[in-house]
Each structure stands twice: as structure tokens, then as C-alpha cells.
Chain A
């Protein structure tokens, strides 16, 4: 598949926004339950503002994916069958509840516990919807796995908690070590779950073959021509057009940037992570996750490509 930059930005930015909100609410909830000190309202307000900004930036990027964004409202209608429709309903619902929770902190009002819980459940539901958009397509076998959903969840929370550590280092240093600890845990979990999906996909054998594509039972079926020499939607949308060496390089780059480097930076910065170290971890990890998302698309091989192998 051709990596769509709008979708790469959407999924990485909103994933971090959801993770950041979950980290903020988690810290506040722990404080409420007297498991630790409560974060100050000013910090929660700042963090919520960053989460909302990331969410809005992601949505703006996603608009460029649509041919007819002015009709986007129609996408709320098919939630019974379409995970994309569900995502587009849950996303503003999460945004609205997270905004209300953050606004309450701005106004120094104690938000009801139910509001934070609702926003958290919507954040988790949004990870599920985003992951299922890809995981539900049976013939994109690299995506058709529960690991896809798990990766969207774990990688999103990892980037959000790393961001929470950086924000805490700047505005609430007492909470920075705690967030950094969670960031290390989720980044390590992300390395495990994404590594598992890489291993799974490396061993996938294609289910469709040239023989099944045209229905001729013979071991040697080759395309002579796809029937036209010009470009077409089918020759663009489903081919990333890069040599396999580039895809391989991106794989090692994202494993290093999204997981190994932030783990090393955060671990070295403990027990009291500096703003610089935590910000470096955020920058490395976000760049790494964008490369990870690029690879996620490029690695997926669509069976329609069997029909578009030879020009003439």
C-alpha cells in the first residue's frame, strides 16, 4: 500500500493525544484515590490543551485524505458496519469530553469523575476503532490481526506518556519520574507488540496467486500486460514504489527511533528527567512512530497488485 501522509499524521498525532489524556487522567485519578500527590489544575489544563491541539492537528491532516471533505458529515451514518464511521463518531466525542475535562481545570473547577472516565473510555474506544479500520480487512493480511489493534493502543499510550513526562518535566517536575516510568513500560511493551507483528508478517505466505487471480489452475501464470500503459488509480494507490531495501531501512530506523532511543534517553534521565532529555525522547519517538506508520502501509501487500504487474 502507498503510505498516505495524511493518515500517518492523523494516527500518530491523535494516538499521542489520547495517550497524553490517559496519562493526565491516570495521574489525577491516582491522586484522587490517595495513591500519590494530585497534579495541580494548571498542569492538567496545560496538558489537556496540548492533547486537544494534537487532536485538532491530526483531524486537519486527515481532511487532506478525503476527496470531498465538505461531505465529511455523511461519514457519521454507517456506524453499524463501518469502523471508519465509528472512528469519526468516537473522535469528536473523545475530543469534546477531553476538552470539557481540560476546560474545567482551566476554570479551576473540579470536573466530575464520570467525565474523566467517559473521556478515557472514549480514548480507548478510539484506539479500537482506528486499529479495526485496518485489522478488519481480510485480504490485507499484514493488517488482519489483533496485533494491529494492540499496536495502535500500546504505541499511542507510549507516545502520550512520553509526552506527559516532557510536559511534567517542564511544568510539574514531581510527576516527571512517574510519567517517565510509565513511558518506559509502554515503550517496551510497544517494542514487544510491534516486534511480534513484524515477526508474524515476515512469515506470511500470500493467499492469492496469479493463478487464483485469473482462475487458471497452472503453476506458471504470468501477466503480459495489465491492458494500458498510462498511470491509473490502481497503479498508484496500492504500490509504494520504493525498493525493498528502503522498506527494510525504514523498519530498522523506526525500531531504533520509536523504541530503543527513547527507552535509552528516558532510562538515562531517571530518576529526575530534565526537560531537554524528555523533549528529546518525545521528538525521537514521534519521528519513529511516523516512520513506523509509513512501514505499516508499505509492508501491506494488496492482492489487487497481482492484476497490475506488467505494463506491456
Chain B
């Protein structure tokens, strides 16, 4: 059983929002688009996004760390948003584990968003249906694209390679190795949703390593 997922490396994410804009661009123009904004240049804009980059602070000054934290649908292996849907519009694909919304079946009751502890779903105010990250399903399955391009738009856009994409059920995949070797973890494990997306924790890089080999790169 394949379970596609993102693994996000918090050690190298610089919070540049390239994944946010790239996601928005692809998904407003892609097969499932548009992904509308209301009053984009007005006083109170309101937009639908699949992906957000937040910034958090850990610790107390001066012992603080800034953590840039990208957040999108985690494609849970036990997604609480799916069984509550009254129409079956919200579903998890058997073949690759992607959690999707059938925009033609959604009645916009918002119940699935109540059932998601992560706030991963956003109601599109123009189409009046629920929207969420698709892992760029229209892109990763497009055989007209070169294999290297069959990745989610956010992954392709990341300048620091903080976003890995692959099958977390394949123990040899890049994402499985990263989770295993770098302590990849899931968000809010207390709810038993078993998110497929994982995060790689920050690592302490000793300053001496750089000093020992000046100009080595």
C-alpha cells in the first residue's frame, strides 16, 4: 500500500513562502482550480490556500530559536475528516493514500473542517465548497511530465530542499529514510490521526565544524 506524503525539514526551512506562492499558482491554474481570492487588492482580502508558512519561537530570550513551520494537509492515514462527510465528497484514495475532496459532490457543510484538528481545510468562498492540499495529484500523476517534475509544486519550488516527497510505506524511499534516520515526527500525535506528512526536527550544528574547514565548499 502506497502512502504518498511530504516530509518537511524544519532544520533548513528559511520561511521564504516560495512553497506557498508556488502552490497557489499551480492550484489556481491546475485541473482543480481556480483557487480564488476575494478582494485581493482591497482592504480586507480573503483567500483560499492549501499551504501556509508560519513562524514560531521556541524558548525565552536570549535562548530562543525561530522555527519556520510550513503547514498543509497531512494526508492522515486515519483521516477524521473523511468518515464525517455526509456525501462522500471527502475521501482517501486507496492507491496512494492522498486525501481529496470531490468538488462536484461537496455541499459546503464545513463538517469536515470541524473534524480536522490541524485546520488543513479551507472553504472556498467563491465556489462554496471545501478545498485542501491535493499533493498536486494532477501533477504527480501526469505522465506527460518528466519523472523529475512529477512532484508537488511546493517541493519543486523550495530553494533549500526542505520539502521531500515520496511513499512513506516504502522503507527504502527518500522520505522513509529521512523519517527513520532524522527522527521524523507527526503533529498532534495525541489524536491518533496518524498523519502521513512528517516533520524533521532542528539539528544543532556545532560552529566548530565550519571553522575547522574554512572555504571547504
B85 touching A212, Cβ below 8 Å:
no
A68 touching B190, Cβ below 8 Å:
no
A307 touching B119, Cβ below 8 Å:
yes
Which A residues are CB-close (under 8 A) to B111? 82, 84, 133
Bound CA span A216–B52, Å: 18
B84 touching A84, Cβ below 8 Å:
yes
B86 touching A208, Cβ below 8 Å:
no
A230 touching B107, Cβ below 8 Å:
no
Bound CA span A216–B188, Å: 11
B71 is an interface residue with CB less than 8 A from chain A = yes
Chain A residues numbered 45-98 whose CB sits less than 8 Å from any CB in chain B: 65-69, 71-72, 74-78, 81-85, 88
Bound CA span A69–B107, Å: 6
Contact among A88, A221, A307 for B58, CB-based, below 8 A: A221
Min CB–CB distance A271 → chain B (angstroms): 46
A231 touching B123, Cβ below 8 Å:
no
Minimal Cβ-Cβ distance residue in B for A218: B58
B128 touching A212, Cβ below 8 Å:
no
Chain A interface residue count: which class?
A: 35 or more
Which A residues are CB-close (under 8 A) to B82? 81
Bound CA span A148–B54, Å: 35
A77 touching B66, Cβ below 8 Å:
no
Bound CA span A230–B43, Å: 9
Which B residues are CB-close (under 8 A) to A216? 56, 58, 67, 201-202
Minimal Cβ-Cβ distance residue in B for A208: B188
A203 is an interface residue with CB less than 8 A from chain B = no
Min CB–CB distance A78 → chain B (angstroms): 5
A214 is an interface residue with CB less than 8 A from chain B = yes
Which A residues are CB-close (under 8 A) to B121? 233
Instruction: List 11 extra interface pairs beyond A67-B107, A78-B88, A213-B187, CB under 8 A.
Output: A66-B107, A74-B89, A77-B88, A85-B87, A140-B114, A208-B190, A215-B185, A215-B201, A223-B56, A224-B55, A227-B20
24 pairs of residues in contact across A and B, judged by CB atoms under 8 Å: A67-B129, A68-B107, A71-B105, A74-B88, A74-B105, A75-B86, A77-B88, A82-B84, A82-B85, A82-B111, A84-B86, A84-B109, A84-B111, A139-B191, A213-B187, A213-B188, A220-B58, A231-B45, A233-B113, A234-B122, A237-B113, A238-B119, A304-B118, A307-B71
